[in-house]
Structure 1
Amino acid sequence: MTHGPAVTPDPAAEPSSGVSNWNIANYLTVLRIALVPVFGWLLLADGGDSTGMRVAAFVVFTIASITDRIDGDLARSRGLVTDFGKVVDPIADKALIGMALIGLSLIDEVPWWITVVILVRELGITALRFAVIRHGVMPASRGGKLKTALQAFAIGLFVLPLDGVLHWLAWAILVAALVVTVVTGVDYVLRAVRLRRTSERTAARRARRQGT
């Protein structure tokens, strides 16, 4: 009988075990948050018409995006997963992507409706995370990471003052990111409902009701 490949547990999905919040992975997450206003200022300088500022904004955006990959890898490989990191890391991602989309809409690179759809999803899922935090922390899913990667790639291309084939490539990737954003949003809602139903808190409350 043939069995599928063994599934390796994702450390980010496991509860933290006394790891200090003061670690290199969380430092990188905080750095990403600090870079958000710097990126926004560069992108919006001169109404987005300065090629030099747009290139500088791209560099800052790229550095911030790279820290997202590095902090996650460090947290998993070195056992530095913390509840602080699991909550703040997605917030840092959303702050960076949100600033980028709003900035690109302000300079007429990305339509406002796309920005609104993505930000409503991002803010809604963030609120949902906090709403169910009493039942447990929902780490970023693989689909969520793919969504973030597609968004970052598309935004990076839009930040640069490009035209021609690369501009159309940016649009194709952004449309793909929009689809994944919506699909993963639905997935997070389903996970939140499942977490709420199966958490220890819910089980204890159910046990108390049955005991009365």
Structure 2
Amino acid sequence: MNLPNKITISRILLIPVFMIVLLAPFHWGTVHILGASLPVTQLVAAIIFIIASCTDWVDGYYARKLNLVTNFGKFLDPLADKLLVTAAFVALVEIGYAPAWMVIIILSREFAVTGIRLVAAAEGAIIAASNLGKIKTWIQIVAISALLLNNMPFVWIQIPFAQIALWLATAITLYSGWEYFIKNKEVMLSSK
């Protein structure tokens, strides 16, 4: 297994660590940073999530730089993104930071796209993530990070950045899903 794929797998392995820290019933106190108050466990979970998210850029960088782009990596990388984002959004609903209806819209798109990728893979085709799909993922990551950090550092200037980012993530997720289905309709129509 090459280095980029190992980095991608590390992103998947960080998901349960993130979930345990965020949802565990223990608390280490509260911190106050840049106008935001949040439990230490939530801050640690946010840091783990951000580190896991950054591995997406790192694995892609090394795959291109070292010419190690593989079909396995093209399939695993977006799957790792979806697993991380899914876990984070479900956790945000659990702790009351994101409305379930928005998360359902976002996750429905993610599962539908993964389904098309699986159908394509069964037919011998690998559908890599599009540029819009990558932008969508990063907007979701920004929204999740802002929600986990209780809108830090925007609290003191009273801009609801986390909520704006969540609305933007929902909108771009819907649009990118529509574009994905239009671009890959042949895969759906040609499957047996």
Give me the TM-score of the superposition, normalised by structure 2.
Answer: 0.85
Moved over 2 A (4+): 45-50, 161-167, 194-197
**Partner residue in 2 for 1:97:** 85
SS in 1 for 2:168: helix
Residue-by-residue CA offset, 1:1-20 (whole Å, 9 max, x unaligned): xxxxxxxxxxxxxxxxxxxx
Matches of 1:73 and 1:196 in 2, distance apart?
Answer: 31
1:189 aligns to 2:181 (yes or no) = yes
2:135 to 132, 146, 151: 146
Residue-by-residue CA offset, 1:126-164 (whole Å, 9 max, x unaligned): 011111221511100000000000000110011123473
**Partner residue in 2 for 1:168:** 160
SS in 2 for 1:91: helix
Q: Is the 8 A contact 2:12 2:80 kept in 1?
A: yes
2:25 to 33, 46, 50: 46
Residue-by-residue CA offset, 1:71-114 (whole Å, 9 max, x unaligned): 01111121111111111111100111001000010010000001
How far apart are residue 47 of structure 1 and its match?
A: 8.1
Structure 2: stretches of 5+ with no match in the other structure: 31-38
Matches of 1:54 and 1:105 in 2, distance apart?
Answer: 14
**Partner residue in 2 for 1:27:** 6
Q: Is the 8 A contact 1:29 1:67 kept in 2?
A: yes
Q: Percent identity?
A: 35
Relative contact order (alpha carbons < 8 A, sep ≥ 6): 1 or 2 greater? 2
Matches of 1:38 and 1:161 in 2, distance apart?
Answer: 20
Q: Is the 8 A contact 1:147 1:177 kept in 2?
A: yes
Structure 1: stretches of 5+ with no match in the other structure: 1-21, 203-212
How much is the aligned-residue C-alpha RMSD, in angstroms?
A: 2.1
Matches of 1:73 and 1:166 in 2, distance apart?
Answer: 36
Residue-pair matches, total: 178
The structure carrying a bigger strand percent of its residues is 2
